[in-house]
Every structure is written in structure tokens, then in C-alpha cells.
Amino acid sequence: MSVSQHGQMSDEKKDSVYRAFSPRRIGAITAITFTGLIRQKAFYVVLIFALILIGNSIFMARLSFQREFQMLKDISLGAISIFTSLLAIVATARLLSQDIEDRTIYTILAKPVPRFEYLTGKLAGVLLLLALSTLVMSAMFLAVLFLREQTLLNETLQQMAGAPREQIAEISRTLRGSAFNSNLVPGIAVIYLKACLLAALTLFVSTFASSNLFTIVVMTFVYFIGHLQATAREYWLQTSSGGWMTNTFLAFVAFFFPDLQLFNLVDDIVVGTAIPLALFNKTVLLGGSYTAIYLLLACAVFYGKEL
Amino acid sequence: MSETAVAVRGLTKIFNVPFRRERIVAVRDLNLTVEAGQVYGLLGPNGSGKSTTLKVILGLVSATRGSTEIFGRRSNEVASRNAVGFLPENPYFYKYLTGAETLRFYGKLCGLGGMRLKTGVGELLELVGLTSAANRRLAGYSKGMLQRIGLAQALVQDPKLLVLDEPTAGVDPAGSREIRDLLLNLKGRGITILLSSHLLSQVQEVCDRVGILARGVLVREGPLEKLTAIENQIELVLENAPDALMERIATLVRDSGARIVERRMPQTTLEKLFLEATREERQD
């Protein structure tokens, strides 16, 4: 690899080094993107805000333990959802434009790196950052939940000091059931999936955007329309005849403005409704498909981009 | 017969200005060949199409018409870049990486790994004189150091061709001299170099062949000595020549029908003067 004395390497040797697809190259770009993002102050600001919000939910008004756990979950999962979405958009919006502005992209794409590997590596770096943030926020949320559960359990046990053992056991079981249930993990997984989808869509927008600001503005609209479009669609279908033109238009809107309400399972988790496995699988498939399609679209646009 | 490193045939590049009907012709019907082992200088004022030409050769921009090849492979094939190292004008690398991490990153992009990458990074840092700064973040590098680490990343996969866009832009004379010495070193090792530059004196020192672009058109092209030579004149530099000898030479010239065009004391270059002065200052 060092500059050889003859300065020449046989074509056979060169050709043997190059592979049309290389996980190593993608891994190198992923690692560098993740390192760059993790060293940005904005990441810590967003994370600290989220942690403060989640942590603060421990000081909420004392209500019945069911209601208190519901509020704690509502606030914490809502915070995780909003902050991962925000991070997905803000972190991804500047990835391409920054590399183009700094001309770093020239040095990378002048190496034997296909453009789709570059974009895949960049997106994977953001997804890794989102996974880390989701983990940190979830850990904080679960710690707060556990702390409240233990405090309430102790208080309840003290209040019921003279009560029969079966009654205490029943109350303890109900309290524990209100705090932790099996829906929490799939619920958090779906929040992460929504952030992945938003990151992929932001990457796609940034391939033809003229600036970071444009990407962020477009994605803000997409975020709000995505959360409102289900209501609008229902209204539209109720008031119009539902011909092929309507369906085509709705499909178009659904493609570019994904129905983000489908990824909102927080309400189910808060009230303790079990998330059916079929619904979870369907949501994961939908989120994964949207993410993959947006990445492919980003690659298609980026392939013809003049740098 | 020597191998062709870069072949540009009938290249035209037109940029469409968005939201306007305007079209900018950056390069017009350019034909260019760089043979293996040559150092080729692409000269021209700002906006003459030098950088666009280099980008098309590297496959970063597509040609509107014509074709470009690197060692027989079309530029739009990603595999063609296996044989090329590129240093863009005023590059900014990832500032949060150290010099060694930067080279490891670019090495991995070229499919390198393990001991080969580790030892190679050390050798390259030594080659560009950055061994002592290997573990320092690029945010703390000077402009000259950034250019040298840029040169090192361009060399990371031992390329047969080096493409450099204004390699000494913004670098002080000492740093500029170091880069020029590096290029001469690489030239001695047989690496083909294609560079664009504004600094004509430097191009003259390292290039075998030059092409001059103006408004996207190649207006002059050929071996450097042939392009710069004044064919009906000869330069003679004498040392310790007495006045009597000078008189005799002048008489001989006059008698032969020739003409002394200019008589002057050779002067050092401003660059040499600067380097000597700053070296003395450093030694003091």
C-alpha cells in the first residue's frame, strides 16, 4: 500500500482489490459518520433535553398509581418519540451538504466507492446514533419507572401494614403490572423505526435540496402532514366518491408523506392495551419498507448528481 | 510503447443554470492524453475548465459529450478509481479525526486492512513528514499540513495516477516547496501525475508536458521545453568572466551577424530568497 519504488501495481492486483460491493467500505463510512455525529454538541443538547424531560416526570402530581404510571409513560415515550424524530431530521439534513461544502465528498467518491455505498454508510451512521439515543432515553425512562414503582410499592406496603397477605400480594401485582408490561419494548422499537424512516426520507430530500434549511423545512412539513394525513384521508374518503383519481392521489400523498400515526403506539402502551404481534410485525415491515425505498430513491437521485 | 494513463476524447461539458435558460459551456471539445509516468500540468485562469475536466476524469461529473478513460477504463466505472489518488483544491477532511485515523479511513475505502494498512499508514505519514503529528486531530493542522495529509490519503492505495487540483493553493512558500519536493519524489518513483495549478513557476519545475485551457478550450499543448523555448535564442551563463572576455564575446557576436538581446546578472527567485531568509531566522 505504500508508494512502491516502481510506483506501479499490476492491473491484475488492482482488479483483485476492487469489489463491486464491500461491507468494509460501508462499515468505514458508517463508523466515520457515527463518530462525527456523536462529537457534535447539538446531539448532547437534544439528548440532555430529552433526559431532563423524562427525569422530570418523576416529580409529577401524586395521583392514583395507575394514572401516575400512565402519565409517566405518556410523557416519557412522547419525549423519546419527539426527540428521536428531531435528531433523525437534524442529524441527517446536514450529512450530504456538509461533505459537499467541505469537498470531503470528492476525496471519498474519488476512491473506488460506489455512490450507493456512500449513502448507505451515511444512513447507517445516523441509524446507529438513533439506536444509541433511543437506548439512553429508554434506559432513563425505565430507571424512572422502576424508581417510581419501588417508591409507590414501599408507600403502599407501609399503608397496608395490617392487611391480609393475599391482599398485599394482589395490590403489589397490580402495581407492578401497571408499571412494566410487555408492550414497552415493542413500543420503543416502533418509535425507533419511525426515526429510521424519517432519517431515510431526510436523506432522500437532501439529495436534491439546495441547503440544510430547505431539507429541515420540508421535513418539518412532512412530519406534521404525516401525523395528520390519516385524519385528512378519512375525511376525504367520506366526502368524495372514491374513484381511481382519488385513490391515486391518496397513494401519492401516502408515499411522500408516510402515515406517521401508524407508528404511534404510545396510546396503546399507556392504557396497557396489548399490542398484537401481527400489528407489530406489520408496522415493522411498513417502517422497514419505507426506509429501504427512500434509501433507494436517494441513491437514484444521487447517482446522477453533479458534484 | 508507453501505456496511456489518461485519455480525454472530444470532451464537452455544459452546465444548465437552474430556473434559467442559461447554459454554461465549461469545457469544449477537449482532447488530451497523459502517458504513464508523465507529469502533466493543466494550466489556465479561474473558470477555464481545469477543475471540471479533472472531475469528469474522476467520474464525479458526467460528460455532456465525449469520453474519458483512466488506464483504459471508462471514468464512470467505479473500478477505474482503484488506480487513482485525488487531492481536491482546498480540501477539508473530517476535523475530528487524527492524521493516522484519516489515512486508515481512506485505506479502508480502498479495501485495505490489517497489518498492511497499519504499516502503510506509518510509511505514508513518514513520506509526507507528518509522523510527529500522526495522533493530532486535523483541526489543529496548518494549511500546509492539511495539504500533505491530503496528498497522503491520495496515495493510500498506491495509485498509478495522482490527480491534484491546485495542490499548493493557500500554502506558504515553505509548505509549497515541500509539496513540490514530494511531487518530484513521486515523479522519480514513476507515478503519473496530472495537476492543475496557477503557479506557473512550480508547474515549470515539475511538469514534463502542459496544456493551457482558456474558456474551456485547449489553446496550447505539448512538452514543456518545446512550448517555452525561444528557438532562435541561446542562453549562456558565465561565472567570473573578466571584462576583456566579455568584450571579445561581444565582438565575435557582432562579427558573426548575431545580436546580444540582453545582458544581465542572473537573479535568484523570490521564493529562494524567502526560504533562505526564513531558514536563517529559524536557525537564529
B143 and B178 share a domain?
yes
Query: Which cell numbers in the block locate residue B74?
Result: 471508462
Chain B residues close to A9, C-beta within 8 Å: 83, 158, 160
For position A170, what pLDDT does the model report?
Answer: 82
A182 domain-assigned: yes
For position A109, what pLDDT does the model report?
Answer: 94
Residue B62: closest C-alpha in chain A = A306
Average pLDDT in chain B: 88
Choose the closest CB to A112 out of B78, B155, B191.
B78
B136 and B258 share a domain?
no
Higher-confidence position of B230 and A260: A260
A13 domain-assigned: no
**Domain assignment of residue B276, given as a range:** 243-283
B153 domain-assigned: yes
Residue B95: closest C-alpha in chain A = A36
Terminal CA-to-CA distance of chain A, rounded, Å? 28
Do residues B193 and B164 lie in contact, with contact meaning Cβ atoms separated by under 8 Å? yes
Q: Mapped to the 3 state alphabet, what secondary structure does A203-221 carry?
A: HHHHHHCCCHHHHHHHHHH
What average pLDDT score do residues B74-80 get? 90
For position B234, what pLDDT does the model report?
Answer: 83
B212 domain-assigned: yes
Cα-to-chain-centroid distance, residue B173 = 15
A12 domain-assigned: no
Query: Which cell numbers in the block locate residue B12?
Result: 464537452
For position A241, what pLDDT does the model report?
Answer: 62
Residues A153-210 have pLDDT tens digits of: 888 888 877 778 788 888 878 777 777 777 788 889 999 999 999 999 999 999 999 8
Residue A114: closest C-alpha in chain B = B78
Summarize chain B as % helix, strand, coil (round to 5).
Answer: 40, 25, 35
B224 and B248 share a domain?
no
B110 domain-assigned: yes
B151 and B200 share a domain?
yes
For position A67, what pLDDT does the model report?
Answer: 77
Choose the closest CB to B96 out of A1, A36, A114.
A36
pLDDT at B18 over 80: no
B188 and B251 share a domain?
no
A9 domain-assigned: no
For position A15, what pLDDT does the model report?
Answer: 43
Interface probe, candidates B24, B95, B102, B109, chain A, greatest A C-beta count within 10 A: B109
B207 domain-assigned: yes
Interface touch B189/A19, C-beta < 8 Å: no
Do residues B263 and B169 lie in contact, with contact meaning Cβ atoms separated by under 8 Å? no
| A41 touching B (Cβ < 8 Å) | no
pLDDT at B250 over 70: yes
Give the model's confidence band at A20: pLDDT under 50 very low, under 70 low, under 90 confident, else very high.
confident
B252 and B203 share a domain?
no
A176 domain-assigned: yes
B238 domain-assigned: no
Chain B residues close to A39, C-beta within 8 Å: 96
The residue from B228, B257, B272 where one domain ends is B228
DSSP H helices, chain A, are 11-17, 23-38, 41-56, 65-101, 104-109, 115-159, 165-179, 184-208, 212-239, 244-256, 266-271, 277-303
CATH of the domain at B200: 3.40.50.300
Interface touch B156/A102, C-beta < 8 Å: no
A5 domain-assigned: no
Measured between alpha carbons, how far is residue B100 from residues A35, B129, B139 in Å?
15, 12, 13
B95 domain-assigned: yes
For position A249, what pLDDT does the model report?
Answer: 75
Do residues B127 and B155 lie in contact, with contact meaning Cβ atoms separated by under 8 Å? yes
Higher-confidence position of B4 and A264: B4
Choose the closest CB to A14 out of B82, B124, B156.
B82
For position A62, what pLDDT does the model report?
Answer: 65
Q: By C-alpha distance, which of B102, B107, B187, B109 is closest to B145?
A: B102
Residue type, B77: E
User: Based on the structure, what is the number of domains in chain B?
Assistant: 2
Give the model's confidence band at B35: pLDDT under 50 very low, under 70 low, under 90 confident, else very high.
very high
Interface touch A20/B157, C-beta < 8 Å: no
B79 and B27 share a domain?
yes
A6 domain-assigned: no
B196 and B266 share a domain?
no
| B109 touching A (Cβ < 8 Å) | yes
Give B272 to chain A, closest Cα distance, Å.
Answer: 29
DSSP B27: E
What average pLDDT score do residues A135-141 get? 92
For position A13, what pLDDT does the model report?
Answer: 43
| A55 touching B (Cβ < 8 Å) | no
Residues B120-167 have pLDDT tens digits of: 999 999 988 899 999 999 999 988 889 889 999 999 999 999 999 988
Chain B residues close to A112, C-beta within 8 Å: 78-79, 81-82, 109-111
B274 and B158 share a domain?
no
pLDDT at B284 over 90: no
Choose the closest CB to B60 out of A6, A15, A109.
A109
B123 and B223 share a domain?
yes
| B3 touching A (Cβ < 8 Å) | no
Query: Which cell numbers in the block locate residue A114?
Result: 460506489
User: Based on the structure, what is the number of domains in chain A?
Assistant: 1
Give the model's confidence band at B270: pLDDT under 50 very low, under 70 low, under 90 confident, else very high.
low
A194 domain-assigned: yes
B178 and B276 share a domain?
no
Residues A211-242 have pLDDT tens digits of: 889 999 999 999 988 888 777 777 766 666 66
Average pLDDT in chain A: 83
Do residues B40 and B76 lie in contact, with contact meaning Cβ atoms separated by under 8 Å? no
What average pLDDT score do residues B183-198 get? 89
Give the model's confidence band at A33: pLDDT under 50 very low, under 70 low, under 90 confident, else very high.
very high
ipTM here:
0.82
Among A114-118, A226-230, B166-170, B208-212, the range of highest mean pLDDT: A114-118
Higher-confidence position of A234 and A48: A48
Give B241 to chain A, closest Cα distance, Å.
Answer: 44
Judged by DSSP in three states, A77 sits in helix
For position B5, what pLDDT does the model report?
Answer: 93
B233 domain-assigned: no
Choose the closest CB to B189 out of A3, A24, A25.
A3
B249 and B223 share a domain?
no
Residue A4: closest C-alpha in chain B = B158
Chain B residues close to A1, C-beta within 8 Å: 107, 112, 116-117, 119-120, 123, 156-158
B122 CB-contact burial (10 Å; exposed 0-12 / middle 13-18 / buried 19+): middle
For position B34, what pLDDT does the model report?
Answer: 94
| B167 touching A (Cβ < 8 Å) | no
The percent of residues above 90 in pLDDT, for chain B, comes to 49
Separation of alpha carbons A155 and A147, rounded Å = 12
B234 domain-assigned: no
For position A17, what pLDDT does the model report?
Answer: 57
**Domain assignment of residue A70, given as a range:** 21-303
Choose the closest CB to A1 out of B150, B158, B191.
B158
Give B119 to chain A, closest Cα distance, Å.
Answer: 8
| A272 touching B (Cβ < 8 Å) | no
Give B221 to chain A, closest Cα distance, Å.
Answer: 26
Give A30 to chain B, closest Cα distance, Å.
Answer: 11
